[in-house]
């Protein structure tokens, strides 16, 4: 299987735990913030894919296509997650972590993943209609056609949704929700009912659903955008309030006059 983008031709110090040749190491994002804006080159994408396919990662770790889907769900969903909420999920449900030869190697892989994620953020913020998921193609004996194979990508996306499934409920319940989520659900959900399994039985059926992914993802992004904007504004307002606590009437006036607030600026319309 070949993995490619669908449209292609053939301040806070956060941390995560890794294993460095048998001992636990804490790697902070503070050391790698500066290069995180740069998009991954083709060579760096190959480097990340090779690591995810290597023996250094747990057996149930995500591959490049499922990682791309996982990160996309986190980026366009309703909730801003902490690194510690989602990073361990890359390595599977068993709670294991990769083995790195050195801390530098661990920082390098984290840098590649974070830059890949930031590339997804950039794509949606600049033009959600042009985002192309990183999905695979498959060919079958006796069939000259090459089919899109987005099942692992969609599976990764659904794993990202599962991190905060309750937060996604408004979209699940919305009148348009079923149509928007249909290709993601059919391609990526576990334990489909028999009637739904028949809709993804053939490569051609799955190919059609894969073609629908970009439009669905753009709709999901737009659905949650007002919510994310409102949450961000509340967070900013809350930060401002914490930085500028309310002045009590008997407290010294912040203008520096030396008088009590109630007899100074508290009695006026504005601070002087």
Question: Measuring CA to CA, how many Å separate 73 from each of 92, 117, 132, 165?
Answer: 16, 10, 13, 11
- Domain membership of residue 249 (yes or no) is no
- Domain membership of residue 254 (yes or no) is no
pLDDT digits 0-9 by tens, 184-231: 999 999 889 999 999 999 999 999 999 999 999 999 999 999 988 776
- Domain membership of residue 247 (yes or no) is no
Segment 245-266 shows an average pLDDT of 57
- Domain membership of residue 46 (yes or no) is yes
- The residue whose two tokens read 């203008």 is 255
Question: Residue 24 — very low, low, confident or very high, per pLDDT cuts 50/70/90?
Answer: very low
Structure tokens at 101: 């030869």
Question: Residue 250 — very low, low, confident or very high, per pLDDT cuts 50/70/90?
Answer: confident
pTM (predicted TM-score): 0.76
User: How many domains would you assign to the chain?
Assistant: 1
- Domain membership of residue 245 (yes or no) is no
Q: What's the domain range around 139?
A: 2-233
- Domain membership of residue 48 (yes or no) is yes
- Domain membership of residue 90 (yes or no) is yes
Contact between residue 11 and residue 146 where contact means Cβ atoms under 8 Å apart: no
Contact between residue 94 and residue 60 where contact means Cβ atoms under 8 Å apart: yes
């Amino acid at each position: 299987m070949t993995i490619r983008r669908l449209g292609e031709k053939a301040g806070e110090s956060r941390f995560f735990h890794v294993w460095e040749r048998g001992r636990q190491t804490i790697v902070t994002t503070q050391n790698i913030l500066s290069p995180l804006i740069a998009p991954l080159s083709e060579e760096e994408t190959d480097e990340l894919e090779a690591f995810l396919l290597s023996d250094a990662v747990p057996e149930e770790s995500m591959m490049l296509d499922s990682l791309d889907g996982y990160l996309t769900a986190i980026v366009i969903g309703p909730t801003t997650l902490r690194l510690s909420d989602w990073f361990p999920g890359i390595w599977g449900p068993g709670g294991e972590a990769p083995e790195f030869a050195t801390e530098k190697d661990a920082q390098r892989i984290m840098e590649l993943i974070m830059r890949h994620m930031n590339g997804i953020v950039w794509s949606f913020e600049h033009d959600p209609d042009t985002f192309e998921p990183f999905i695979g193609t498959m060919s079958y004996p006796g069939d000259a056609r090459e089919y899109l194979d987005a099942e692992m990508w969609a599976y990764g996306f659904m794993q990202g949704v599962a991190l905060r499934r309750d937060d996604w409920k408004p979209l699940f319940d919305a009148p348009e929700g079923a149509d928007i989520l249909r290709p993601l659900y059919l391609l990526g959900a576990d334990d489909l009912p028999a009637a739904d399994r028949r809709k993804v039985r053939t490569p051609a059926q799955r190919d059609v659903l894969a073609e629908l992914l970009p439009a669905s993802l753009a709709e999901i992004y737009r659905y949650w955008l007002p919510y994310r904007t409102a949450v961000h504004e509340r967070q900013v307002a809350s930060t401002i309030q914490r930085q500028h606590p309310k002045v009590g009437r008997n407290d010294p006036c912040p203008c520096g006059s030396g008088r009590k607030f109630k007899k100074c600026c508290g009695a006026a319309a504005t601070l002087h």
